[in-house]
Amino acid sequence: MVASLVREKNCSDALIGVGQHPAGWVDFKPMGFNEYHDSMLNGLQEFQRVVQGSVRTVVRSVHENPLGNRISDCPPTDWRNPEVIRVYNELLKSICDQLSIDFVDTAEIISPMWDTAQDWCHYNNHVGLTEAIFFGHMLGFITANFSTVREYIYIPEGPIIY
């Protein structure tokens, strides 16, 4: 469905950030690594089939989640801990290499501030903004340098990390 929309809207680039939910509380068990690999491979192959090379596709790494109650409970009811996410990212990178899709590891942006998301998952703050600016530069949509970007984008708190 997303691939069809990307093609329909004549997008030049598609930035894909998927893969965290299978380690969540789906069916109260994590998706195993083999199943995760197959699921991500099938999804990305289907995306490629639909867009037919009409867009530049970039997959970003899966973000780590802080060790909240669900993750650190015994037994856990959410498996999005750093080690599971690390393996998921290794699998995603391998799949991207196999499919000739760009893979970008954003750990240097996200990991130092991984516990700043208000809901423990979505970075709707300066960390997410920093990642968005990074990808804007990478994809060529933002051509100003980082010091100039501050003049055009309201940043509620904290520095831009670069």
Domain locations in the chain?
A: 2-152
Phi/psi of residue 47, each to 5°?
Answer: -60, -50
C-alpha 65/C-alpha 118 separation (Å) is 11
CB atoms within 10 A of CB 117: 18
C-alpha 65/C-alpha 82 separation (Å) is 7
What's the fold here for domain 2-152?
Rossmann fold (3.40.50)
C-alpha 67/C-alpha 70 separation (Å) is 8
Residue 71: per-residue pLDDT:
82
Residues in the chain predicted with pLDDT less than 70, given as ranges, are 1, 26, 142-162
Contact predicate 32/40, CB 8 Å: no
Residue 156: per-residue pLDDT:
44
Q: What is the pTM of this model?
A: 0.82
